[in-house]
Chain A
Amino acid sequence: MNCNRRQFMKTGLSSMACFSTASTMPLWIARSAQALGNPLDDRILVIYQMAGGNDGLNTVIPYSDPKYLDNGANSLRPTLHITSGLEATELGDGLNALHPKLVRLKNWYSAGKVAIVQNVGYPNPSLSHFTGTDYWELGVSPGSTLTATQGWASRYYDNMCNGAPPPEVDPLAMMAGGMSRLPLTLSGSNYFLPPAVESFESYNIEVPTNPIAFGEHIRNYIELMSNLNVPLNSSLDYIQRAANIAQASVEDMQIAALTPIINPYPSGSPTLGPGLDMVSRIIRTESPVFKTRVFYVTQGGYDTHANQSDGSDPANNGTHPQLLDEMDRCLDAFLQDMADSGNLDRVLLLTFSEFGRRPQENGSNGTDHGTASCLFAMGGGVNGGVYGGQPNLAPLTGGNQGGNLEHAVDFRSVYSIVLRDWLQVDPALIFGPDFTNPAFNIAGGMGGIEFIAELPESNVTAVSKRGLGMAAILTALAGGAAVQHMMKDEQKPKRPART
């Protein structure tokens, strides 16, 4: 008998009999069995990585700043500045305009669905792609008390239960779309092992079909050999859990793949378009199985040391305008998908990039690695607008090594807003002792950037809106056992018991 997850979900616990040869129950069944009855807060976070270091100054353009403009020897952007064609993307504050390629995003901004946070960074910034990306994905920085090897979104999931598997969380609680490598943001938990899925089409476990019974026999034993008695927390144990998630998610993705496309994503987008298309279809798939709450998509290419823009037409020619055009078309399709399907109010999309680029352009029609930059939050639940103040270009001197922007908003403050006001978990649980450390401006730095709107309270969020709200939610849903775990600080997550 070919017992798969789909059949299990249809038939319920009784079909577990078909795994009678397994010495332990597959992990996903343990979770799904618990998941059947508990509706979850249905808010979704989509994290969008702009990999390579996006040039904030040519994304949210400070068109009135004399240091940005063509100003002879004092100009930081003598050839790369963009001043024409900004009428359609002017943000209305008399200071900034989006890059002309972001014209669709500007429409969403005008509709109040886009928040921009300027000057986001962290103390003692790294100008390394890899170290910088690690900081952002882990939610740490040089000098922080917290040391982490687990991504911040992964910690969010672990801290929802703080020691025990949250009964209402699906095995596919998190996933990365359009990429085959799992990002650090979602990595590091011992029990939430999100799948990274490049495309629905390639995501299928193939077995022989001649005869069909031979293939089904193999398929069953591929699963059975991933459910053996192995030492807890050994490498084999980890691989077994990864295998269980892979095997379960394959079947889920086949279902999501049947959900039709509403708004086409642009061709020629290698990872962002396919990723957002998958995310959209999973969100729009009507199935009680899907409880994926954190998604991750990526777009590479922002490391524009050379040919960032062509000085003859910096708004249109070069790598950066191409990337922003891709971004604009993909985000427009995604937001429209969400609006058309009635999901916009439960989706928040948050961008990040490991650093901004140096204000002073280099000699190759490009920019070198910099520091603070802007990011975007968008969806039905944001308070649209520009937060975080203007980039302060005044103290920067000319020349290629003329300096970098000082950050005004710590990126963990942005994360904390998302955690507190969107995902409704206490950010102190995620950032530990750093949360109240003024050096990182987290707990104290959130006042000016409250970009999440107050939404009508759902049945779940009515329990509590702040602080230990999740503990109360878990208490209500899981019978109180979790709350004791919740109250302990810094408790190391333990592996869940298998039942």
Chain B
Amino acid sequence: MALLDDFVGPLNNADASHLLRRAGFGGTPTERAALTGLTAAAAVAYLVEIQPTDPHLDQPGTPGTGSFGSPLADLPDDPVVPGSPTLIELDHITLKQAQYPHGLRGHWMYRMRYTSQPFQEQLALFLHDHMPSEIEKLLDVLPNDVLWGNDGDPGNLVPPGEVQTCNLGLAGVPYDPYRKHEMVTRLLRDQNYLFRSEGVNRFEDLLLAVVRDPAMLVYLDNYLNVAGRPQENLARELMELFSLGVGNYSENDIQQIAKCLTGESFPNFRCETTWDTTSGFIPLAHEPGGKFIFGSTAIPYNAAGAETEMVIQAILQKQSVTPNIALPGAAMYMAWKLCRWFVNENIELNPPSPIVVELATYLMGDDAGVYPARRYPYDIKAAMGKLFRSQFFFDSANRFAIHKHPADYIIGALRALEMVELFSIGEGLNDQMRFMGMDLFQPPDVSGWHHGQAWLSAAALVARYNWANRLCNVIMADSGVALLIDAYPVSNNDHAGMIDHLADRLFHEPLSTDEENRLLDFLNTMPLTGLGGNAIQEKRRKIRGAVHVMLSMPRAQLK
């Protein structure tokens, strides 16, 4: 297991920064300093051993006592002046409630920016990309008069899983066009929190939860997959994208598994009196008879939904068709996807890069004696711990070997610069992420986003330039925010010192001579007209200009 052997020695600042860029979104100077000097094992444990809820963001609090960076509970529920919220109040109220799609997107970006467990959010984003659901599809599919729960009050939404009687014909409930948006947002929010709380655990459990997730059941049409009328959408993507990859199953397997999944539905989705509302599974809709998959695996008939569990077990045990590989196909596929997302975007599955085979082998182990302890096969936390502390991960060939996705780019810059942004409103991060091609909860299709060089289409690159402009010339130009710049330990006329400081924050590595010289030219020839020789104002303009240009550099697009 050469590639996965532990990285030896204490982490220097570049090592720690590499780890933070990949496991999270890039560190603040403080976070990078905190991990420097630790062993890889200790630093990785710090990042990967996470709580289901974030100790900082999810702690209880008092509404209205907090602002940027506060625990979510401390953000306001109402403006200080009733009816006249400030822009920031409106942003924070909206993202805290996460009641509508833009609020949910802002909510997640806020978490990414201020979490104390950045790996939790990066992994949630990986999982969202791996098995997403799209808001627009759900909005398109659900009827406008959908009711969730039985009282018709938007303020009393009933969480999924609770028994409710559907009362579509409820008298006296006015039609509410936002009701559907609320419901869809709630479904996707629940899916998102599933990734956050369960993402590091047993992949089999996560896969089962996703297959039974209401948003997914709507997104991949499984509510229409019923006895006598099989619907293959979920069965196909479950294998092709979520677990096995193309080649490890046949069209017949898809048809058989579609039958196994008949009846997995969402009871409160539509008001049909024949639907059993006591669980997500509808026995009446389930295809009778036994099924055969993968040639020889019998799935005996089960009227209570257990076929779904059997199917997922069988999928995760299905041997890979890759020549000379005696491992489950899903282990290979998941090892590959994790390596591409977290280590190097050029790692291949066919034929497999050696690291894929090693990590897949590790995924299938269950020996509790080794650290990180593999609690069971497909233990995602153990696999990621092992990968992050490996020699392979720290190899120089894997540094800056991934194109930043838009959340890396934005959140990384905000964390590096310890800067603020609006999350859910106005020209804030909702819009910016969409311009850069990563509208959360709205990937291009069920295969998630296209990565690597695909992130740098001309339009997306222009969007990155323009967000850099917004950050430097709208956000930082605010007189209050400018105080954050004033705190940077650099002096106005020490241009080299200024460049070095900003390069360390943004890139975590020294600049090339060429880059350094040209940035020095930039500062040396900076127009300082209109500032009246005010040293504080000059320093602010220089820093704003330098950050703007540096965030537009090719180097700023890699992590």
Q: Is there contact, CB below 8 Å, between B458 and A246?
A: yes
Does B530 sit at the interface, judged by CB under 8 A?
A: yes
A129-B445, A225-B552, A400-B229 known; A181 vs B462 contact (CB < 8 Å): no
**B489–chain A nearest beta-carbon distance, Å:** 24
Q: Is there contact, CB below 8 Å, between B246 and A128?
A: yes
Task: Identify which of B41-49, B320-328, B494-502, B520-528 touches chain A.
Answer: B520-528
Main secondary structure of the interface of A (DSSP, over half): loop
Q: Which residue of A lies closest to B557 (CB)?
A: A239
A181-B457, A205-B462, A211-B529 known; A226 vs B255 contact (CB < 8 Å): no
- Report chain B residues within 8 Å CB of A218: 469, 545, 548-549
Q: Is there contact, CB below 8 Å, between A180 and B457?
A: yes
Q: Is there contact, CB below 8 Å, between A213 and B529?
A: yes
Q: Is there contact, CB below 8 Å, between A213 and B527?
A: yes
Does A222 sit at the interface, judged by CB under 8 A?
A: yes
Q: Which residue of B lies closest to A52 (CB)?
A: B445
A174-209 contacts to B (CB < 8 Å): 176, 180-182, 187, 193-198, 202-208
Please report the C-alpha to C-alpha distance between residue A25 and residue B507 in the assembled complex, in whole angstroms: 25
Does B374 sit at the interface, judged by CB under 8 A?
A: no
Q: Which residue of B lies closest to A208 (CB)?
A: B473
- Report chain B residues within 8 Å CB of A225: 515, 518-519, 549-550, 552-554
Q: Is there contact, CB below 8 Å, between A364 and B454?
A: no
Interchain CB contact (< 8 A) of A363 among B226, B254, B470: B226
Please report the C-alpha to C-alpha distance between residue A369 and residue B514 in the assembled complex, in whole angstroms: 53
A181-B437, A305-B221, A364-B221 known; A242 vs B518 contact (CB < 8 Å): no
A181-B437, A240-B554 known; A217 vs B522 contact (CB < 8 Å): yes
Does A453 sit at the interface, judged by CB under 8 A?
A: no
Does A262 sit at the interface, judged by CB under 8 A?
A: no
Interchain CB contact (< 8 A) of B458 among A197, A213, A230, A369: A197
Does A376 sit at the interface, judged by CB under 8 A?
A: no
Please report the C-alpha to C-alpha distance between residue A221 and residue B232 in the assembled complex, in whole angstroms: 53
- Report chain A residues within 8 Å CB of B548: 207, 218, 222
Please report the C-alpha to C-alpha distance between residue A206 and residue B526 in the assembled complex, in whole angstroms: 18
Q: How many residues of B contact A (CB 8 A)?
A: 66
Q: Is there contact, CB below 8 Å, between B236 and A128?
A: yes
Interchain CB contact (< 8 A) of A195 among B457, B472, B545, B555: B457
**B161–chain A nearest beta-carbon distance, Å:** 25
- Report chain A residues within 8 Å CB of B527: 211, 213-214, 217
Does A464 sit at the interface, judged by CB under 8 A?
A: no
Q: Is there contact, CB below 8 Å, between B229 and A196?
A: no
Interface centre among A126, A204, A224, A225, by most chain B C-beta atoms within 10 angstroms, is A225
Q: Is there contact, CB below 8 Å, between B251 and A127?
A: yes
- Report chain A residues within 8 Å CB of B236: 127-128, 369
Q: Is there contact, CB below 8 Å, between B466 and A230?
A: no
Q: Is there contact, CB below 8 Å, between A226 and B553?
A: yes
Q: Is there contact, CB below 8 Å, between A246 and B461?
A: yes
Q: How many residues of A contact B (CB 8 A)?
A: 61
- Report chain A residues within 8 Å CB of B530: 210-211
Please report the C-alpha to C-alpha distance between residue A250 and residue B241 in the assembled complex, in whole angstroms: 36
Please report the C-alpha to C-alpha distance between residue A225 and residue B221 in the assembled complex, in whole angstroms: 48
Please report the C-alpha to C-alpha distance between residue A306 and residue B220 in the assembled complex, in whole angstroms: 10
Interchain CB contact (< 8 A) of A202 among B231, B255, B435, B514: B435
Q: Is there contact, CB below 8 Å, between B231 and A206?
A: no
A254-290 contacts to B (CB < 8 Å): none
B209-256 contacts to A (CB < 8 Å): 221, 224, 226, 228-233, 236, 240-241, 246, 251, 254-255
Please report the C-alpha to C-alpha distance between residue A197 and residue B445 in the assembled complex, in whole angstroms: 19
- Report chain B residues within 8 Å CB of A207: 469, 473, 548
- Report chain B residues within 8 Å CB of A193: 458
Q: Which residue of B lies closest to A242 (CB)?
A: B456
Does B444 sit at the interface, judged by CB under 8 A?
A: yes
**A130–chain B nearest beta-carbon distance, Å:** 5
B448-482 contacts to A (CB < 8 Å): 450, 453-454, 456-463, 465-466, 469-470, 472-473
**A71–chain B nearest beta-carbon distance, Å:** 20
Please report the C-alpha to C-alpha distance between residue A273 and residue B552 in the assembled complex, in whole angstroms: 31
- Report chain B residues within 8 Å CB of A306: 141, 221, 224, 231
Does B389 sit at the interface, judged by CB under 8 A?
A: no
Q: Is there contact, CB below 8 Å, between B403 and A235?
A: yes
Please report the C-alpha to C-alpha distance between residue A195 and residue B458 in the assembled complex, in whole angstroms: 5
A221-B522, A306-B231 known; A401 vs B462 contact (CB < 8 Å): no
Q: Which residue of B lies closest to A229 (CB)?
A: B514
Please report the C-alpha to C-alpha distance between residue A230 and residue B515 in the assembled complex, in whole angstroms: 10
Does A362 sit at the interface, judged by CB under 8 A?
A: yes
- Report chain A residues within 8 Å CB of B403: 235
Does A437 sit at the interface, judged by CB under 8 A?
A: no
Does B201 sit at the interface, judged by CB under 8 A?
A: no
Q: Which residue of B lies closest to A214 (CB)?
A: B527
Please report the C-alpha to C-alpha distance between residue A59 and residue B477 in the assembled complex, in whole angstroms: 55
- Report chain A residues within 8 Å CB of B392: none
Q: Is there contact, CB below 8 Å, between B231 and A362?
A: yes
Q: Is there contact, CB below 8 Å, between A196 and B514?
A: no
- Report chain B residues within 8 Å CB of A242: 453, 456-458, 461
B32-90 contacts to A (CB < 8 Å): none
Q: Is there contact, CB below 8 Å, between B465 and A236?
A: no
A131-B246, A197-B459, A221-B522 known; A362 vs B557 contact (CB < 8 Å): no
Q: Is there contact, CB below 8 Å, between A203 and B232?
A: no
Please report the C-alpha to C-alpha distance between residue A229 and residue B516 in the assembled complex, in whole angstroms: 12
Q: Which residue of B lies closest to A298 (CB)?
A: B444
A128-B240, A181-B450 known; A217 vs B459 contact (CB < 8 Å): no
Q: Which residue of B lies closest to A193 (CB)?
A: B458
Does A238 sit at the interface, judged by CB under 8 A?
A: yes
B245-302 contacts to A (CB < 8 Å): 246, 251, 254-255
Does A14 sit at the interface, judged by CB under 8 A?
A: no
Please report the C-alpha to C-alpha distance between residue A205 and residue B473 in the assembled complex, in whole angstroms: 13
- Report chain B residues within 8 Å CB of A131: 246
A128-B236, A217-B525, A243-B461 known; A21 vs B518 contact (CB < 8 Å): yes
Q: Is there contact, CB below 8 Å, between B228 and A221?
A: no
Does B7 sit at the interface, judged by CB under 8 A?
A: no
A128-B246, A242-B458 known; A305 vs B233 contact (CB < 8 Å): yes
Please report the C-alpha to C-alpha distance between residue A23 and residue B513 in the assembled complex, in whole angstroms: 12
Please report the C-alpha to C-alpha distance between residue A222 and residue B469 in the assembled complex, in whole angstroms: 11
- Report chain A residues within 8 Å CB of B240: 128, 130
Q: Is there contact, CB below 8 Å, between B521 and A236?
A: no
Q: Which residue of B lies closest to A240 (CB)?
A: B554
Q: Is there contact, CB below 8 Å, between B458 and A196?
A: yes
Does A114 sit at the interface, judged by CB under 8 A?
A: no
Does B512 sit at the interface, judged by CB under 8 A?
A: yes
Q: Is there contact, CB below 8 Å, between A217 and B545?
A: yes
Does A249 sit at the interface, judged by CB under 8 A?
A: yes
**A191–chain B nearest beta-carbon distance, Å:** 13
> Can you give 6 A-B contacts (C-beta < 8 A)?
A130-B447, A180-B459, A222-B552, A225-B549, A235-B400, A245-B458
**B residues at A contact (CB < 8 Å):** 141, 221, 224, 226, 228-233, 236, 240-241, 246, 251, 254-255, 400-401, 403, 435, 437, 444-447, 450, 453-454, 456-463, 465-466, 469-470, 472-473, 512, 514-515, 518-519, 521-522, 525-527, 529-530, 541, 545, 548-550, 552-555, 557-558
Smallest CB-CB A-B distances: 3 pairs? A363-B229, A195-B458, A239-B554
* A126-B246, A218-B549, A225-B553 known, 7 other contacts, Cβ within 8 Å: A128-B236, A180-B435, A181-B457, A202-B459, A213-B527, A217-B526, A235-B400
